[in-house]
Chains A and B, each alone.
Chain A
Amino acid sequence: MSVATETAAPAPAKPARNRSRLEHRPGLNRWLPYALLAPAVLLELFIHIIPMLVGIWMSFVKLTKFFIANWSAAPSAGLGNYKVALDFNNAVGEGLLKSFGVTVVFSLVTVAFSWVLGMAAAVALQPEFRGRGLVRTLFLVPYALPAYAGILTWNFMLQRDTGAVNHVLEQLHLSDGGTFWLIGSNALISLITVAGWKLWTFAFLTLMAGMQSIPRDLYEAASVDGAGNIRQWRNITLPSLRPVNLVLVLVLFLWTFSDFNTPYVLFGTAQPPAGDLITFHIYNASFLTWNFGTGAAMSVLLLIFLMIVTGAYLLITGRRSRRA
């Protein structure tokens, strides 16, 4: 039978694009894939693509409170909105640049912090031990928790007079218990801690999953050769995880850079300048001040930046866009 013939060759570990029976059926195969994709495509168009195009249109138009009631009649602003957003000598542009800087620092530090913790935990849990399942379950709780529940708890803990953090610091004689965590320059540290609290568990999850598929014999062979744990980690674990890490770091960075929930729930309306992340900054510029045109221009700039970062990253790491 044809099935037997085709499977005569050893099946590769990775699924290769064998010519399978599915592709031998004409007619049906021509329209079926498109039919299967149709719902997803329609939704993506409707919810993501078209609104984004409208958003781009909005960035070229003077859409302020004077025109919002009749928005199709708003006058064109040409590149005016972009000029305002990028003019770093005036207040709006300067604010955007500062916010961008804060967000870059926030993202890099949070991603690094999360990755390090995730890797540390994944390595620590790699060998079996009693209670490993329990610990792993515990570590997944921050990831499972709805974002706002965790952030609200941290908000409560970071209060100056009634919060747990200052209480602990005071008990340990590390401070006088009067530090402000939610205003002033500590706000960025608070943001990083709160965002990292949840993010590291995702890194942990992914890295742990990745480590499970590294063959044991590699480690055993290395042990026989006399390599210590740190060497094994460097020479076996890290390289094997390279594909996972590449995607993981990119995803972590993109998520963190676009994080809206953390500043919104942690700081509410009183956003401290030290913690002014760009997504909230743009939200403020559009919704809270009715300057939808400028806000749209800022969003487009943000999108362009993220695309450039992704493109550069993929180029540098040599990955071509593979099949999803």
Chain B
Amino acid sequence: MRLRSLVAAVAATALGISLAACGGGDSDDASGGGSGGDQTLTYWASNQGTSLDNDKEVLTPVLQKFTQDTGIKVNLEVIGWNDLQTRIQTAITSGQAPDVVNIGNTWAASLQATDAFLPFDGDAMTAIGGKDKFVPTALATGGKEGTDPTSVPLYGLAYGLYYNKAMFAAAGLQPPKTWEEMVSAAQKLTNPAKKQWGMALAAGSYTENVHFAFINAAQNKADWFNGDGKPTFTGDGNVQGVLRYLDLMQKDKVANPSNAQYDNGTKSVNDFATKKVAMVINQNNADSSIVANGMKAGEYGVVPFPAPAGGEQVASHVAGINLSVFKNTKHKDAALKFVKYMTDAQTQTTLGKPFSSLPVLKDAKPVFTTDAAEAATFQDVYNTKSKPLPLVPAEDQFESTVGKAMNAMFAKIATGGTVTADDVKAALKTAEDQVAASS
């Protein structure tokens, strides 16, 4: 009967296909089993370039050189940002992990608490070149204060205030040095009728929002966790810091309410690059996007993100990427050699440009841009005007609770509501309770 032969044919095909499924391209297991001689390291890299493929292209020659120098092969996988944290989580849970992995440096203290990563104690630190080679603020992000860090800095990033030179010149404005100057310049450059706004904010991205909550509060000398690691979100400095940022859309009206939908930084950078806004606050890796979207290198300038008059000169959190080694690696020495190689001056210079990163090594020069003024500004911010995000295990909870609370507040403002200082305080209290309850 026709049905019978059809079923038989399909069954045979399926059997064949599933045999292919078992075999085909899915070996993603732990550190390649090497004993002695021919070792292979598994390395999970994050997305720093323009695409995952681009990252692969950039890293492959660098890794090949490492193999040439040491005989150790490196098995590279590049993982996008919306997957990396989950992948690391599942690696920790299952024990099936790579040897070396890039992490967002703000995750360092949380990941340290899982006890799944190799602490860089005296011996390990010596093996990678010693702790003095790093910029101190960068190294401080590696783990909880007073403990051996479980990650070391790899690429540095910092926020800067990008401004459109032509728009500023046309309005006779100087790049702002204080918050108040920034707001007033933005207001002069806001003209909704002509679809031009003073600033673009990634107001729907909880990670971006919480970064600015942190920076603004730091400018007010306020902290988010006390010495015992307990959350202190409702301090006056925190509340005012958050409100000041929200007011850019609410009171000062220099940002398009549509920004409340921007759930990642690329959208606000796009607005800047297509000349719809005069300023954008972004990390220094915005350069490649800006140029890719139509603006030329000399058309924009960068100044440090300003503090209010009389506030602390904090212009950025210490952003960037750190490198960690999994504790259960079977190739500890090889992994440490790899970390040393990646944090060596030459590799850093090679990767600095394509990944638009700031140097994490003392005395190194930024190479991500040819604009000397811009390079100097960012390096200055990174080295002297930046503060690490709270180095506590609950840091990731802090980011998601406070960040999402700010998303909701921006949404309220965008849809016509008002957010007062009391509203901010109440929202931060809820966030604080959530963090306290889940620790």
Chains A and B share a contact (CB less than 8 Å): yes
Which residues of A come within 8 Å of B, CB atoms?
64-66, 68-71, 84, 90-92, 94-95, 159-161, 178, 180, 182-186, 268-273, 287-291, 294
List the B residue with the shortest CB-CB distance to A66.
B113
List the A residue with the shortest CB-CB distance to B111.
A65
Return A110 CB to nearest CB of chain B, in Å: 22
Question: Nearest 9 CB-CB pairs, A to B?
Answer: A91-B433, A184-B415, A183-B411, A91-B434, A69-B116, A270-B263, A184-B411, A92-B437, A270-B204
Inside 8 A of A161's CB, which chain B residues have their CB? Answer: 258
Interface residues on chain B, number (Cβ under 8 Å): 37
In the complex, B148 has a CB within 8 A of chain A = no
Complex: A65 Cα to B205 Cα, angstroms: 24
- Which listed segment binds A: B72-80, B87-95, B173-181, B282-290? B87-95
Knowing that A183-B407, A270-B206, A290-B110 touch, tell me 7 more A-B residue pairs with CB under 8 angstroms: A68-B114, A70-B115, A84-B437, A91-B433, A183-B204, A287-B89, A289-B396
A180 with B438, Cβ < 8 A, contacts A90-B433, A269-B263, A289-B396 known: no
Contact with A along B411-436 (1 / 0, CB 8 A): 11011000000000000001101100
List the B residue with the shortest CB-CB distance to A271.
B404
Query: Which of B93, B95, B410, B431 has the most C-beta atoms of chain A within 10 angstroms of its own C-beta?
Result: B93
Inside 8 A of B404's CB, which chain A residues have their CB? Answer: 270-271
A180 with B114, Cβ < 8 A, contacts A68-B93, A91-B430, A270-B263 known: no
Inside 8 A of B430's CB, which chain A residues have their CB? Answer: 91, 94
Return B374 CB to nearest CB of chain A, in Å: 31
Report whether B408 and A182 are in contact in the complex, using a CB–CB cutoff of 8 Å: no
In the complex, B98 has a CB within 8 A of chain A = no
In the complex, B260 has a CB within 8 A of chain A = yes
Report whether A289 and B397 are in contact in the complex, using a CB–CB cutoff of 8 Å: yes
Inside 8 A of B206's CB, which chain A residues have their CB? Answer: 269-270
Give 20 pairs: A residue, B residue, CB < 8 Å, sorted on A. A64-B438, A65-B393, A66-B113, A69-B116, A90-B433, A90-B437, A91-B437, A182-B261, A183-B260, A183-B261, A183-B414, A184-B415, A269-B82, A269-B263, A270-B204, A270-B407, A273-B408, A287-B86, A290-B89, A294-B438
In the complex, B67 has a CB within 8 A of chain A = no
Report whether A68 and B258 are in contact in the complex, using a CB–CB cutoff of 8 Å: no
Complex: A319 Cα to B190 Cα, angstroms: 65
In the complex, B400 has a CB within 8 A of chain A = yes
Report whether B258 and A270 are in contact in the complex, using a CB–CB cutoff of 8 Å: no
Complex: A186 Cα to B431 Cα, angstroms: 23
List the A residue with the shortest CB-CB distance to B397.
A289
List the B residue with the shortest CB-CB distance to A158.
B261
Report whether A288 and B438 are in contact in the complex, using a CB–CB cutoff of 8 Å: no
A95 with B414, Cβ < 8 A, contacts A68-B92, A69-B93, A69-B116 known: no
Return A267 CB to nearest CB of chain B, in Å: 9
A65 with B434, Cβ < 8 A, contacts A183-B414, A183-B415, A270-B407 known: no
List the A residue with the shortest CB-CB distance to B91.
A69
Complex: A15 Cα to B205 Cα, angstroms: 59
Contact pick for B412, options A70, A184, A186, CB 8 Å: A184
List the A residue with the shortest CB-CB distance to B433.
A91
Report whether A66 and B114 are in contact in the complex, using a CB–CB cutoff of 8 Å: yes
Which residues of B, 190-232, contact A by the 8 Å Cβ criterion?
204-206
Inside 8 A of A184's CB, which chain B residues have their CB? Answer: 260, 411-412, 414-415
Complex: A217 Cα to B77 Cα, angstroms: 68
Complex: A153 Cα to B412 Cα, angstroms: 25
Inside 8 A of A68's CB, which chain B residues have their CB? Answer: 89, 92-93, 114
Inside 8 A of B411's CB, which chain A residues have their CB? Answer: 180, 183-184, 272
Return B265 CB to nearest CB of chain A, in Å: 13
Complex: A161 Cα to B262 Cα, angstroms: 12
Which residues of B, 258-278, contact A by the 8 Å Cβ criterion?
258, 260-261, 263
Inside 8 A of A291's CB, which chain B residues have their CB? Answer: 438
Which residues of B, 80-111, contact A by the 8 Å Cβ criterion?
82, 86, 89, 92-93, 95, 110
Complex: A289 Cα to B410 Cα, angstroms: 23
Return A253 CB to nearest CB of chain B, in Å: 28
Complex: A269 Cα to B399 Cα, angstroms: 13
Complex: A294 Cα to B438 Cα, angstroms: 8
Report whether B414 and A290 are in contact in the complex, using a CB–CB cutoff of 8 Å: no
Report whether B263 and A290 are in contact in the complex, using a CB–CB cutoff of 8 Å: no
Complex: A92 Cα to B115 Cα, angstroms: 26
Complex: A110 Cα to B333 Cα, angstroms: 58
Inside 8 A of B113's CB, which chain A residues have their CB? Answer: 65-66
A160 with B258, Cβ < 8 A, contacts A90-B437, A92-B438, A183-B204 known: yes
List the A residue with the shortest CB-CB distance to B410.
A183
Complex: A294 Cα to B434 Cα, angstroms: 12
Contact with A along B21-57 (1 / 0, CB 8 A): 0000000000000000000000000000000000000
Report whether A92 and B415 are in contact in the complex, using a CB–CB cutoff of 8 Å: no
Return A116 CB to nearest CB of chain B, in Å: 29
Complex: A307 Cα to B317 Cα, angstroms: 48
List the A residue with the shortest CB-CB distance to B92.
A69
A65 with B114, Cβ < 8 A, contacts A95-B434, A185-B415, A294-B438 known: yes
Report whether B400 and A289 are in contact in the complex, using a CB–CB cutoff of 8 Å: yes
Report whether A180 and B396 are in contact in the complex, using a CB–CB cutoff of 8 Å: no
Complex: A96 Cα to B410 Cα, angstroms: 22
Inside 8 A of A289's CB, which chain B residues have their CB? Answer: 396-397, 400, 438
Query: Which of B86, B92, B411, B433 has the most C-beta atoms of chain A within 10 angstroms of its own C-beta?
Result: B411
Return A235 CB to nearest CB of chain B, in Å: 42
Inside 8 A of B89's CB, which chain A residues have their CB? Answer: 68, 287, 290
Complex: A273 Cα to B414 Cα, angstroms: 15
Report whether A288 and B400 are in contact in the complex, using a CB–CB cutoff of 8 Å: yes
Inside 8 A of A69's CB, which chain B residues have their CB? Answer: 92-93, 95, 114-116
Complex: A288 Cα to B396 Cα, angstroms: 9
Inside 8 A of A182's CB, which chain B residues have their CB? Answer: 261
Return A254 CB to nearest CB of chain B, in Å: 27
Complex: A48 Cα to B404 Cα, angstroms: 33
Inside 8 A of B415's CB, which chain A residues have their CB? Answer: 180, 183-186
Report whether B263 and A92 are in contact in the complex, using a CB–CB cutoff of 8 Å: no
